[in-house]
Amino acid sequence: MLSYKAPLRDMRFVRDELLGFPALFASLPGCEEFTPDLVDAILGEAARFCEDVLAPLYRSGDEEGCTWTPEGVRTPAGFREAYAQYVEGGWAALSTPPEYGGQGLPPSMGLFVEDMMGTANWAWTMYPGLSHGATRTLKVHGTDEQKQTYLRHLVSGEWTGTMCLTEAHAGSDLGMLRTRAEPHADGSYRITGTKIFISAGDHDMAANIVHIVLARLPDAPPGTKGISLFLVPKKLPQADGTLVPNSVSCGSIEHKMGINASATCVMNFDAATGFLIGEPNRGLNHMFTFMNAARLGTAMQGLAAAELSFQGALAYARERLQGRSLSGPKHASGPADPLIVHPNIRRMLLTQKAYAEGSRAFLYWLCQLVDIADKSADAAERKRAEDLMALLTPVAKAFVTEAGYEAANLGVQVFGGHGYVREHGMEQIVRDTRIALIYEGTSAIQALDLLGRKIMGSGGELLRGFAAIVEEFCAQNAGREDMAPLVAALTATGKRLEGLTMHVAGVAMKNPDEADAAAFEYLMFMGYFVLGFMWARMARTALDALAGGTGEADFYSAKVETARFYFQRIMPRTESLALCVEAGGATLMALPEAHFAL
């Protein structure tokens, strides 16, 4: 059975040594008091909550699942009690606005906690997870009345939030949505329609649920330009503080491959009372405030899968006796050697480790950019952070979840047949993680966003900004013998990416289908490149620590060796991806549709 241990030492390495969060907090207005000791104390408490409360519910929640009843969805045993502890502990209010009762910590702190909560129990974490996006959307686009009525309850965790986009006939094509919003005499609207795949759409953990819903006004233009955004509570707050049921109900819950303890709901809005958020017909623009936060949260699921699967596989590989080393027995006194002595097992474990720790560095860097964009007094710094976030968010969402899913499958493989049965918990990670490659925009949709909107749409400016950072790092370390192989590989891969970008831009100008044909492999290439950049940075930090003398030589040596493994055994994948990009779309479109018939 899986046992989760929060990787606090690795988290501290990335935060304090690699990315310099203490100096960042000291420079941001209102964040000066968040010293490393205070941050460690907060995260230490979060780790105990995750290890002692959430992790034990991971398997039992999956086994029991959620239950639909006419009165509402019931969550698995222990989930309500865990959520009550979460609210009582103030975790919901950690990185939320002080003016609405929040603690006002930098946004990154909430994401650090989500790293642990999501790894301990992703299905449970989804219930409060979307509340943060709802809070941010209302804070940015809501009216003063909406903020006063709803934000304090969302911030405290008394109420939770959802994001209601998808409809059965439309999927990711939001321009086809049909949910209607009819104006009412009192200034509210009556929302009618059905949304599907709504995470935490109904449950018994909070007193109220605030749905953020996309719908069309009667005079709306067709397509995505005719979408508006509405606030539709499950229960309508009254002046005396009571809650009155709204015409919102859960029609059913999906029977899914994974995250069975998370209620994925079909939500019916039957002339439900709703309130316009922001400007009419600008709903999709406003919803991106929510969606971008959700994309970064979903990337965390990829990290969570890699971390949890690695922890499970490593423990098993150390204990399981199986076969003898080909170079001679390593544990001669036993009947067989432990799995961890075999090179192929090491290959899988190191791949998991490289993905988990590399993804943590990547996502924490994005967390740092969120802090700067949210709180820096320097307008130029905010703009730089926003540009990097715009470019790298689709890479994080798609690549880290793809890598996390690969790591989860490797965990099953390390266990062999025992990984395929439920009692060890490894197959649950695979099932739970598979959705991460789909929701909040599939990997292919993220790839088109990256290549079309972010790179070509900016005339290459966003990519040049990131490339300059990598080039500066390589120039700073060009003379270091201990960094030479990593810097050489990073430099060569950067030049390859530059050439690929020019190639795709050129062919896509003649035939737009070429962008779609190249997008996924292009994004994966860039993902490996970004993770390579993070591993090169981690290697430099670790090498400097070793050179300066340290009592943790094993920890830092492991960083250096994992970086070398990444560059020798994983980074070369970029070349095969480049060849796929250069092959173009001709072979994809050559087969006539009729020839696909069985």
Residue 257 DSSP SS3: coil
Distances, alpha carbon 375 to alpha carbons 386, 389, 556, in Å: 12, 15, 32
Query: Which residues, other chains included, contact 172 with Cβ-Cβ below 8 Å and sequence gap of 6+?
Result: 166, 441, 442, 445
CA distance 508 to 325: 52
Chain-centroid distance of CA 562 in Å reads 23
Tokens of 12: 């501290």
Tokens of 488: 């050489």
Say if CB 122 and CB 304 are below 8 A apart.
yes
Residue 552 DSSP SS3: coil
Tokens of 225: 């330009």
Residue 588: closest CA among 528, 511, 497, 498: 511
Residue 10 DSSP SS3: helix
Beta bridge partners of 267: 195, 250
Tokens of 366: 């994005």
DSSP assignment of 32-69? TT--HHHHHHHHHHHHHHIIIIITTHHHHHHHH--B--
CB atoms within 10 A of CB 376: 18
Residue 173 DSSP SS3: coil
**What's the chain's length in residues?**
598
CA distance 262 to 123: 5
* Torsion (CA) 207, 210, 211, 212 in degrees, nearest 10: -170
Residue 286 DSSP SS3: helix
Residue 334 backbone dihedrals phi, psi, to 5 degrees: -100, 170
CA distance 434 to 93: 30
CA distance 305 to 134: 25
Distances, alpha carbon 480 to alpha carbons 5, 47, 475, 477, 486, in Å: 36, 38, 10, 5, 10
CA distance 336 to 462: 54
CA distance 563 to 486: 8
The overall longest dimension of the chain from CA atoms, in Å, is 84
So which residues are the catalytic ones?
440
Residue 212 backbone dihedrals phi, psi, to 5 degrees: -100, 115
